[in-house]
Amino acid sequence: MTDTRLQILGSGSAMPTKTRNQVSQVLSLHNKSFMIDCGEATQVQMVRCSVSVSRLNHIFISHLHGDHCFGLVGLISTLGMKSRTADLYIHSHPALEPLLRPLLNFFCRDLSFRVFFEPYSQSSSEILYEDRSLIVSSFPLKHSLPSSGFLFKEKEKERHVLPEKLKFYRVPVKEIAAIKNGADFITDEGIVVPNAHLTTPPSPSISYAYCSDTVYDEKIIPYIEGVTLLYHEATFLHEHLSKAKATMHTTALQAATIAAKANVNRLLIGHFSARYIDTSPLLKEAQSVFPNTSLVEDGAIFDL
């Protein structure tokens, strides 16, 4: 699949540092952009990372700590100055709209587009978005307040038809859609041509799971099992496990353990505590358990 990538706008945690902004990511696929969390200065990072806003219609907020949502009003305000017209959907805990709507009414009068808050339950898994090729669903995390992870999962793709076989069996055009979806072909003579003779398997479907903020919790494994890419917070080194527990965060070792147990393809870790000036020990710790791990940095792009 072309053009499928995750761009990190903010890789830090609650306290911004000289190099790490508060949390935000943009997942681009199928010519659409989806924002995950929107900490303060997300709009600044979008300018600095040259992220297009024109195809951004959905923002998913994992939980209502400020470092995950303080950038929303500024972003919406600036989108208004760009004369955007497309509706914008903010998927979040129901408490967000009553907090932000008065600010939007005051600071973003005469917006050229509509903002819809789409509340979802953070105690269960819910489908938040679906189109022809993608499903976005939430699943519960365990944090100091209601928090959710997100799973972006491409739907199973169409099988690739073999043009020479279609020609050989004189398959009419109107049958091709069904064949791409796995149907056999029956000739005028009543002979069944198995689908496997006419097609090759579809390209693999891509999936991305985002887990922040949360304690180590194996209950999330069924949701993230086998994903192409997993982002999991790793706020602390395992030597600071007691701090991780007290603040309901995860250590790098724990994030890697989840990745290994969920059999994911690749792990990204981030949301590092501002105490770690040098974050390489966090990477080393995670890689000791799950080698295919990378650190996120502000501005980094990961192709899926």
Please give the positions annotated as active site.
67
Q: Which stretch binds its own copies (CB under 8 A): 101-109, 121-129, 169-177, 211-219?
A: 101-109
Contact assessment for residue 126 and residue 138, using Cβ atoms and an 8 Å cutoff = yes
- Non-local (6+) Cβ contacts of 183 within 8 A are 175, 195
Task: Please give the DSSP secondary-structure letter assigned to residue 33.
Answer: E
For residues 8 and 170, what is the distance between their CA atoms, to the nearest angstrom?
49
Q: Is 71 in the site for its own copies (CB under 8 A)?
A: yes
Nearer to its own copies, 74 or 140 (CB): 74
Minimum CB distance to its own copies, residue 81 (Å) = 6
Q: Checking phi first, is residue 290 left (phi over 0); if not, alpha (psi -120 to 50) or beta?
A: beta
- DSSP-assigned states of every residue in 14-44: SS--SS-PSSEEEEEETTEEEEEEE-TTHHH
Q: Which stretch binds its own copies (CB under 8 A): 62-70, 133-141, 164-172, 254-262?
A: 62-70
H helix runs in 199-240, sequence order: 221-224
Structure tokens at 29: 């696929």
Of 247, 286, 234, the residue nearest 143 (C-alpha): 247
Q: Is 154 in the site for its own copies (CB under 8 A)?
A: no
Q: Facing residues of 26 across strands? A: 7, 35
Q: Figure out which of the listed residues 106, 110, 123, 173 binds its own copies, where binding follows CB under 8 A.
A: 106
258: three-class secondary structure by DSSP: helix
Nearer to its own copies, 285 or 298 (CB): 298
Site for its own copies, residues 13 to 52, rule: CB under 8 A: 14-18, 21-22, 40-41, 43-44, 47-48
Nearer to its own copies, 71 or 140 (CB): 71
Q: Which stretch binds its own copies (CB under 8 A): 52-60, 99-107, 116-124, 252-260?
A: 99-107
Q: Figure out which of the listed residues 9, 26, 56, 73 binds its own copies, where binding follows CB under 8 A.
A: 73
Estimate the crossing angle of helix 280-287 against helix 252-261, to 10 degrees.
Answer: 30
Nearer to its own copies, 31 or 106 (CB): 106
Number of residues that bind its own copies (CB under 8 A): 31
Nearer to its own copies, 46 or 258 (CB): 46
Q: Is 146 in the site for its own copies (CB under 8 A)?
A: no
- DSSP-assigned states of every residue in 63-76: B--GGGTTTHHHHH
Q: Figure out which of the listed residues 57, 78, 133, 287 binds its own copies, where binding follows CB under 8 A.
A: 78
Contact assessment for residue 285 and residue 254, using Cβ atoms and an 8 Å cutoff = no
Task: Write out the residues near its own copies by the rule CB under 8 A.
Answer: 14-18, 21-22, 40-41, 43-44, 47-48, 64-66, 70-71, 73-74, 77-78, 81, 95, 98-99, 102-103, 106-108
